[in-house]
Amino acid sequence: MSSSGSETRARGGDGLRNEAISTALRACIAAPTSELPRMKLWKALAIASGLPGTRMNVTLANAFATEAAAHGAAADSLLTEMATLDADEAPGATDLEFLPVCGVLGLGLRAALEPKQRPKVLGVLHDASEDLRFRVREIVPFALARIGERAGDALVLEVAPWMDGFFQAAAVLVAMSRPSWLDAMNDAGPVIERLDEAYGLAKNATRSASRYPGHKALVEALGVAPAALAGRFGVPVFDMLERWAVTTIPELREAIASNLRGPKLAGRHAADIERVRAAVAKNTAPPRDPSIIVHGTRGRGKKRGRGR
C-alpha cells in the first residue's frame, strides 16, 4: 500500500521456532489473567521483531499467528488484546509495534479457521486499517486476504461497509488483489461493486480530503488492484475502467492508466487495454499551450516564459 510494502509481504510460513516465544505463548494460554506470562511474551516478541529498523520480521509474525491460532478460542482474548494495543502501549517505530501486527495477523487466521469469529474480527481489522502506525495499518490487507482465502465471495459482501473510509477501502482493494483471496473469488458482480465504491469515494472527495494520507493510499490501490482483478475477471473490470476514464482528476486518470501497463494482461486482453487507453486519452484535456510544455516537469513553461 505504500513504501513499506516490501517489509509487509505477509505470507504463510513455517511454524514458530523461537522457543522463548512459544513457551511464553503457552503460558499465556494456560493463565490468561496472569500478567507475568504476558509480559514475558511481549518482551520475547519485541526482541525478535527486527524493530526498530527497516525490516520487520514478518516471517516470525506469521509463525506466531499460526501457532496462536492453533490454540483455537483459547487464544482469542490474547490476540484481541494484542491487536488493539494503542500507540501509548505499543508506540510506532519501536519494537513494541510488532505486538499489534502479530495480533492482527493472528485474528485474521482465527477468522479464516472459524467463520463465526468473522464479524468480531472484521470490526477489529476495520479499526486497525486506519491506525496511525503504518506497520499496523499495512498488515490489515494480509489478514483480510487470509480470511478471504477461506471465505471467498462471502467476504467481498461482508466488507461492503468498509468502502466509506479511505484507508479501509484501500485495505479492501489491496486484500482482494492478493492471490490467496483472488483465487477464491468466483462472482465478478460484488467485486465490481467494491471497485466502483472505492473509485467513487476517491473521486468525490473534497479538495481538503484529497490531501489526506488515506486518500493517497486509496488512489495508489486503485492504480494496482484493478489490474490484478482484471486477470481474474477480464472484461467486466475493463468495462469499469472505461467508465472511470471520464474523470477530469489527473491522479485518477493516472491510476486508471497504470493498470494497463503490466505485461501479464497484454496478451489475452490487448484489445481491452487499447479501448481503455483510448478512453483515457480522449478524456485528457490538451495543455493550453503545447509549445511551452517541457515533458517531465511541472510549471516550467511559465517560468521559462517569464524569464525571456
Cα distance between residue 195 and residue 240, in whole Å: 9
DSSP at 291:
G
> For residue 204, which phi and psi values (nearest 5 degrees)?
-95, 10
Show the cell assigned to 289. 499551450
What is the pLDDT tens value at each position of the chain, 308 positions in all?
543 443 333 444 457 889 999 999 999 999 999 999 999 999 999 999 999 999 999 999 999 999 999 999 999 999 999 999 999 999 999 999 999 999 999 999 999 999 999 999 999 999 999 999 999 999 999 999 999 999 999 999 999 999 999 999 999 999 999 999 999 999 999 999 999 999 999 999 999 998 999 999 999 999 999 999 999 999 999 999 999 999 999 999 999 999 999 888 988 899 999 999 999 999 887 766 666 555 555 555 454 444 44
Q: Who's near 271: CB < 8 A, 6+ residues apart?
A: none
Across 34-64, b (16+ Cβ under 10 Å) vs e yields: eeebbebbbebbbebbbbeeeebbbbbbbbb
Q: Who's near 273: CB < 8 A, 6+ residues apart?
A: 238, 260, 265, 266
pLDDT value of position 267: 85
pLDDT value of position 7: 39
Show the cell assigned to 27. 503460558
pLDDT value of position 233: 97
pLDDT value of position 3: 39
**Residues 107, 80: contact at Cβ < 8 Å?**
yes
| Claim: this prediction has a pTM higher than 0.85 | yes
Show the cell assigned to 301. 513553461
pLDDT value of position 285: 78
How far apart, in Å, do the first and last CA atoms of the chain sit? 44
Q: Who's near 185: CB < 8 A, 6+ residues apart?
A: 148, 152, 153, 156, 176, 191, 232, 233
Across 86-114, b (16+ Cβ under 10 Å) vs e yields: eeeebebeebbbbbbbbbbbbbbbbbbee
* Domain spans of the chain, in order of start: 1-150
Q: Which residue has the cell 517505530?
A: 93
Q: How far is CA 210 from the centre of its chain?
A: 19
Q: What is the tens place of the pLDDT at every residue in 66-114?
A: 999 999 999 999 999 999 999 999 999 999 999 999 999 999 999 999 9
Burial of 296 (0-12, 13-18, 19+ CB in 10 A): exposed
Cα distance between residue 11 and residue 142, in whole Å: 8
Task: List the one residue out of 175, 225, 228 whose CA is nearest residue 196.
Answer: 225
Q: Who's near 290: CB < 8 A, 6+ residues apart?
A: none
